[in-house]
């Protein structure tokens, strides 16, 4: 019965399989379901949440790091920025930040 259930629901773990089996009729123990799944190598297929966002194979110029070796002795001498992607329910949004390198405060 577990094998039939796993054919349709490949990403179900032992907890979901136990609930589904109980819903379909037989009273089962989750520990037994876990042991059966482990012994028969029926591990759930995990969903990959990582999305690659960097494309390093391009023909555009790669700019050198002009701040390398630059010593900062006070505020507003060097600003650095970064951009990242934040996952939300409907996809991704961009987050761009500009920091003061000396105080590490957000400037923009």
Does residue 74 lie within any of the structural domains? yes
Beta bridge pairs of residue 106: 99
pLDDT at 3: 67
Residues 81 and 34 in one domain: no
For every residue of 69-95, DSSP letters joined together read: T----STTS-EEEEEEEEEETTEEEEE
Could you tell me the pTM of the whole model? Answer: 0.44
Mean pLDDT by runs of 10 across the 108 residues of the chain is 68 81 82 84 75 78 86 91 86 91 90
pLDDT at 66: 85
- Angle, CA 96 vertex, CA 101 and CA 87 arms, to 5°: 130
| Number of compact structural domains in the chain | 2
Residues 32 and 64 in one domain: no
With beta carbons less than 8 A apart as the criterion, state whether 18 and 37 touch. Answer: no
The parent domain of residue 60 ranges over: 50-108
Q: What is the separation, in whole angstroms, between the first and last Cα of the chain?
A: 58
Does residue 44 lie within any of the structural domains? no
Residues 63 and 84 in one domain: yes
Residues 79 and 56 in one domain: yes
């Amino acid at each position: 019965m577990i094998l039939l259930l796993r054919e349709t629901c490949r990403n179900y773990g032992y907890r979901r399989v136990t609930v589904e089996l109980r819903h379909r009729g037989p009273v089962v123990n989750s520990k037994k379901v876990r042991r059966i799944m482990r012994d028969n190598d029926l591990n759930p297929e995990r969903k990959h949440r990582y999305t690659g966002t960097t494309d390093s194979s391009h023909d555009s110029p790669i700019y050198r790091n002009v701040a390398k070796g630059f010593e900062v002795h006070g505020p507003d001498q060097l600003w650095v920025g970064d951009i990242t992607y934040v996952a939300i329910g409907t996809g991704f949004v961009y987050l761009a930040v500009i920091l003061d390198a000396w105080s590490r405060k957000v400037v923009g």
